[in-house]
Amino acid sequence: MLAAGIDEAGRGALAGPVTACAVIIPAGAEIPALIRDSKKLSADQRAAMYEFIAANYVYAVGQASSREIDRLNILQATFLAMRRAVQKLKIQPELCLIDGNKIIPGLKIKQKAVVKGDAKIKVISAASIVAKVTRDRLMSELNARHPQYDFAGHKGYGTPAHVEAIKRYGRSPEHRRSFAYPGENEQQGLF
């Protein structure tokens, strides 16, 4: 059965899109030992594995923007990004293996949710690597437009320095309006 692994990056960030990837590993293709949960790899290892995956596997990326996240909520926007990734695949899988505990609504392909799948199943690990590298690169590009936030450093996540930048400069167009930053009064900052 032809399976695609699906994972996302950026779900918990305060800024930037949520990015999903769907990967199919062709039959007989090499699977390097470094294809594992992207969080367990250094940036250099992720970059090397991204290049390997791009050259040897079938993959597609889907994203949902900050505005879509605000409109739909993060869970539904994540599902949207995942559906977009699967729909962009050049080959349609017979089974989608999704990292987490939920299947993707509206996807007309057999699915299985796998808790901690990015650490257990290589095809999901590959998807986690591509999603993370793709999103990190985008956040570095956004840093050129909004250097005061240091998106290249924290990738949009709620680090103390990022929170201080939001307090000082307000939110950029890349920030999620529906996400409160740490220490923000819920009635004060969601706009």
Domain annotation covers residue 42: yes
Six-digit token string for 41: 């790899």
Please state the pTM of the whole predicted model.
0.94
Mean pLDDT for the stretch of residues 109-136: 98
Asked whether residue 154 is domain-assigned, the answer is no
pLDDT of amino acid 189:
43
Question: Which residue range(s) make up the domain with 30?
Answer: 3-135
Instruction: Tell me, yes or no, whether 103 lies in a domain.
Output: yes
Determine, yes or no, domain membership for 177.
Answer: no
C-alpha–C-alpha distance, residues 62 and 77, integer Å: 11
Distance, CA of 141 to CA of 149 (rounded, Å) = 12
**Domain count for the chain:** 1
Is residue 129 a part of any domain in this protein? yes
Q: Is residue 94 part of a domain?
A: yes
Range 73-81 average pLDDT: 98
The confidence band for 185, taking pLDDT boundaries of 50, 70 and 90, is low
Of 128 and 184, the structure prediction assigns the larger pLDDT to 128
pLDDT tens across 45-58, in order? 999 999 999 999 99
For residue 130, is it within any domain?
A: yes
Q: What is the CATH number of the domain that holds 49?
A: 3.30.420.10
How much is the average pLDDT of 36-40? 93
Domain membership flag for residue 12? yes
Helical segments of the chain, H only: 43-56, 66-72, 74-88, 117-120, 122-145, 151-154, 160-169, 186-189
